[in-house]
């Protein structure tokens, strides 16, 4: 299977970003035992915000020049919303289960990539999307009382995350990475700062302070990697890379919280991974055919 070098670079950046986001999610779940989700989400954005403020001080306001200011601010709103919903969910739901449910995000990306960006999605890939959604229902099992109702929040967090990626792809054609990062940090931080005084709890334990600082740094780096990946590669190509989160989410869930998914969650996640791999394979075939036609 031949994939262009730019696609391989995008896949590598996405994989790195998702690895870091998984570590951030682990931080968030641990901190949710003592701190409010809004405070945790705000802290996730803080590291990125500090970096952006430094860039503004050294490079000036030119980094805020954009052709699409409303789309840029909209991406920041989506970033704040998806992160907050996920943090609230993992305070009730085992991390591995939440990660498994979040696998619906790549299918949202595929659908939205076709509807909004006009990316080509064939019949077989639409079938893979349908199977993916059905597999997500196996994991959530609505109405059976097996999974905590808060798991539904992960579903909506995944939708917002997918929309954020679609906006990243849209903006990459006109705006620089640094501009998108700046607007995301400024908008999300401003939005989350409004309710912050009402929920703030001053960390008193050294481990809380260390985790908050670590989470802020890792989240900032992960955000940059994801944005860069979407500049290099189509969203439909990157979608299956999300499945690496199952490995890291399960590992951290077991290592830190001694939690593992049940058998139906494994089955649902396995089906999603298989359909994702198939989607990546189909994309490789399409890319190969395009290369042959252009030769």
The per-residue pLDDT for range 141-195, each reduced to its tens digit, is 655 545 667 778 888 888 898 888 888 878 877 888 788 888 988 999 999 999 9
Look at residue 197 and tell me whether its pLDDT is greater than 90.
yes
pLDDT score recorded for residue 1? 43
Q: pLDDT (tens digit, 9 = 90+) per residue, 60-101?
A: 888 899 989 999 999 999 989 998 998 898 888 877 777 777
**Per-residue pLDDT at 235:** 64
Q: By the 8 A CB rule, do 104 and 136 touch?
A: yes
Range of the domain at 102: 5-294
pLDDT of residue 280: 58
How many independent structural domains does the chain possess?
Answer: 1
Question: Who contacts 217 (Cβ-Cβ below 8 Å, separation ≥6)?
Answer: 47
Residue 120's pLDDT is 67
pLDDT score of 259 more than 80: no
Give the mean model confidence (pLDDT) for residues 234-242.
70
Looking at residue 293, its pLDDT comes to 58
Cα separation, 277 vs 272, in Å, equals 9
Residue 6: the pLDDT is 63
Q: Are 233 and 31 in contact (CB under 8 A)?
A: no
At residue 112 the predicted structure's pLDDT band, cuts being 50, 70 and 90, is confident
Of residues 288 and 38, more confidence is placed in 38
Q: Which residue spans within 25-147 are E strands per DSSP?
A: none
Which of 166, 157, 173, 156 is closest to 44 using CA atoms?
A: 157
> Cβ contacts of residue 278 below 8 Å, gap of 6+?
124, 128
pLDDT, tens digit, 9 for 90 and up, residues 31-64? 988 899 999 999 988 888 888 888 888 888 888 9
Mean per-residue pLDDT, 132-148? 62
Q: Provide the pLDDT for residue 122.
A: 67
CB neighbour burial string for 94-105, b if at least 16 within 10 angstroms, e if fewer? bbbbbbbbbbbb
CA pair distance 157, 162, nearest whole angstrom: 9
């Amino acid at each position: 299977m031949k994939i262009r070098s730019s696609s391989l670079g995008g896949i590598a950046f996405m994989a790195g970003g998702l690895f870091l986001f998984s570590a951030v999610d682990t931080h968030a779940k641990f901190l949710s035992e003592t701190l409010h989700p809004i405070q945790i989400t705000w802290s996730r954005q803080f590291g990125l915000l500090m970096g952006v403020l430094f860039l503004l001080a050294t490079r000036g306001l030119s980094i805020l020049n954009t052709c699409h200011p409303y789309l840029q601010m909209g991406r920041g709103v989506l970033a704040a919303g998806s992160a907050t919903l996920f943090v609230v969910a993992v305070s009730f739901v085992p991390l591995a289960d939440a990660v498994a449910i979040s696998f619906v995000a790549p299918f949202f990306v595929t659908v939205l990539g076709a509807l909004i960006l006009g990316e080509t999605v064939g019949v077989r890939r639409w079938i893979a999307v349908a199977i993916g959604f059905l597999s997500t229902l196996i994991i959530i099992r609505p109405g059976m009382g097996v999974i905590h109702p808060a798991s539904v929040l992960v579903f909506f967090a995944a939708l917002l995350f997918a929309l954020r990626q679609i906006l990243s792809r849209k903006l990459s054609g006109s705006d620089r990475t640094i501009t998108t990062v700046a607007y995301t940090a400024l908008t999300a931080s401003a939005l989350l700062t409004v309710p912050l005084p009402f929920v703030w709890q001053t960390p008193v334990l050294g481990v809380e302070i260390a985790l908050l600082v670590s989470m802020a740094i890792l989240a900032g780096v992960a955000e940059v990697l994801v944005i860069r990946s979407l500049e290099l590669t189509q969203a439909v190509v990157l979608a299956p890379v999300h499945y690496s989160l199952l490995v890291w989410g399960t590992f951290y869930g077991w290592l830190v919280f001694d939690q593992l998914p049940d058998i139906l969650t494994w089955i649902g996640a396995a089906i999603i991974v298989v359909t994702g791999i198939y989607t990546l394979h189909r994309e490789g075939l399409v890319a190969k055919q395009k290369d042959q036609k252009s030769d």
